[in-house]
Copies of this chain bind each other. A is one copy, B any other.
Amino acid sequence: MLEKLFVIKIGGQIIDHETKLVAFLASFAAVKEKKILIHGGGKLATTLAEQMNIPQQMVEGRRITDEATLKVVTMVYAGYINKHIVALLQARHCDAMGFCGADGNIMLAHKRKKGSIDYGFAGDVDQVNADRLEQLLQTGVTPVIAPITHNGQGQLLNTNADTIAQEIAKACSRIYEVSLVYSFEKSGVLLDVNDETSVIPSIHPADYEQLKSEQKIFAGMIPKIDNAFSALDSGVKQVIIGKAEQLQQLISNKAGTTISHEKH
C-alpha cells in the first residue's frame, strides 16, 4: 500500500485575509501525513501592478502576463507570499521550504502558443519532477509551491495555481496515494450557489452525469469537477473541495465535497 500524500491548494481570498491565512496554516501544519501546499496569488499582485503603473489586462478571467507583469507576479507569488507562508509554517514547527517551478527543476512548462489570444508569459506545465518532490518529502520537508514555472531555458512563466495543484497531484500518484484538496472560501460543491448548506458530500461519475443532466450543479463548478475527474483518471485517489477553515474535516472526508470513484 502506498503512503498517503495530501496536495493542498489554498485559494487567493484566504491569502488576502491575514487572520484566515494564519488559522489555515495552523491546521495545515497539524496535518500528520505528508503534504504539499500550493498557493495562488490573491489581490496583492494587482495592487502592486497598479502602484507600479503597469496596466493589467484580463481576458476571460485570466491575466495577460506581459514582461512587467511577470516580474510583479514573480515578486509577489514566489517572493512575498511564498516566504511569508514558509516563515509562518516554520513558526508552527512545520519544516516548510518554498519553491517555484524553476527551483530544483520542479515544474517544467512551455510558453502558451499564441492562439486568438496572446497570454504572454503564461506557462502550460509539461512535466512535474515527482522524484525531487519525493526526495524532499522523505527528508521531512513540506514543499510550499508558488504558481511560477520555467521553460528550462532561463525563462520564468506564470501558471494557474489550480492547474499546478492538479499536475503535482497526478505526478505524485506514481509514488503516493494522493488526495488533492482545493480549499477556498466556499463549503464545497453546492446544489444551490447561494446556499452554503447545500453542499453535495460526495460525487461519483454516475451521480455526476445525473446531476449535470438535471442541471443541479452550478455551471461555474463544472470545469472544476471535470478537472477533478481527469485527475482521478490519472491516478489521484480523491479530490476534495471545501472551506479552508475546515481543513481537518476536509482531509477526513467529514466536510466539503469528495470526488472519487469509490463510495465513502
**Contacts from A to B (Cβ < 8 Å):** 48, 51-53, 71, 74-80, 82-84, 86-88, 90-91, 95-100, 102-105, 135, 139, 141, 148, 150, 152-156
Shortest 6 CB-CB contacts between residues of A and residues of B? A79-B79, A75-B75, A91-B154, A75-B79, A87-B102, A97-B103
Can you list 20 residue pairs at the A/B interface with Cβ under 8 Å? A48-B52, A48-B75, A51-B52, A52-B52, A75-B76, A78-B83, A79-B79, A79-B80, A79-B82, A83-B148, A83-B156, A86-B102, A87-B150, A87-B154, A90-B105, A91-B153, A91-B154, A95-B104, A96-B103, A98-B100
CA distance A61 to B47 in the complex (A): 30
Residues of the B chain whose Cβ atoms lie less than 8 Å from the Cβ of A141: 104
Q: A78-B79, A104-B97, A139-B135 are in contact. Are A84 and B52 (CB under 8 A)?
A: no
| Interface of chain A: mostly helix, strand, loop or mixed | helix
Asked whether A152 lies within 8 Å of B90 as measured between CB atoms, the reply is: yes
> A75-B75, A83-B100, A135-B139 known; 20 other A-B pairs, CB under 8 Å?
A48-B75, A71-B80, A74-B84, A75-B76, A75-B79, A75-B80, A77-B79, A83-B148, A87-B102, A87-B155, A90-B102, A90-B105, A90-B152, A90-B154, A91-B153, A95-B105, A96-B104, A97-B104, A98-B99, A98-B103
Give chain B nearest CB distance to A105 CB in angstroms.
Answer: 5
CA distance A83 to B156 in the complex (A): 8
Give chain B nearest CB distance to A147 CB in angstroms.
Answer: 12
CA distance A212 to B100 in the complex (A): 47
Residues of the B chain whose Cβ atoms lie less than 8 Å from the Cβ of A77: 79
CA distance A247 to B145 in the complex (A): 32
CA distance A139 to B86 in the complex (A): 22
Q: Which of A71, A84, A86, A98 has the most CB of B within 10 A?
A: A86
Give chain B nearest CB distance to A182 CB in angstroms.
Answer: 25
Residues of the B chain whose Cβ atoms lie less than 8 Å from the Cβ of A152: 90-91
Give chain B nearest CB distance to A235 CB in angstroms.
Answer: 25
CA distance A86 to B98 in the complex (A): 13
Give chain B nearest CB distance to A191 CB in angstroms.
Answer: 39
Give chain B nearest CB distance to A170 CB in angstroms.
Answer: 22
Give chain B nearest CB distance to A136 CB in angstroms.
Answer: 9
Give chain B nearest CB distance to A196 CB in angstroms.
Answer: 31
Residues of the B chain whose Cβ atoms lie less than 8 Å from the Cβ of A104: 95-97, 141
Q: A52-B48, A156-B84 are in contact. Are A97 and B99 (CB under 8 A)?
A: yes
CA distance A79 to B99 in the complex (A): 10
